[in-house]
Structure 1
Amino acid sequence: MTRNLRLLLLAIAAAVVLGGCNTIEGAGKDIQKAGEKIEDAAKR
Structure 2
Amino acid sequence: MSRTMQFPVRQIALASFILTFAALLAGCNTVDGAGQDLKAGGRAVERAVE
Q: TM-score, normalised by structure 1?
A: 0.86
Number of residue pairs aligned between Structure 1 and Structure 2: 43
- Residue 49 of structure 2 corresponds to 42
Q: Which residue number in structure 2 is paired with residue 18 of structure 1?
A: 25
Consecutive unaligned residues of structure 1, counting only runs of 5 or more, are: none
Question: What secondary structure sits across from 1:13 in the alignment?
Answer: helix
Give the drift of 1:5. 1.1
Find the counterpart in structure 2 of residue 2 from structure 1.
Answer: 9
- Asked which structure has the greater CA Rg, the reply is 2
**Percent identity of equivalent pairs:** 35
Report the CA distance between 1:4 and its aligned residue. 1.1
Deviations 1:12-31 (A, max 9, x none): 00011111111011011001
Measure, in 1, the Cα distance between the counterparts of 2:9 and 2:38.
44
Larger helix fraction of residues: 1
- TM-score normalized by the length of structure 2: 0.77
Runs of 4+ in 1 over 3 A off after TM superposition: none
| RMSD between superposed Cα atoms in Å | 1.1
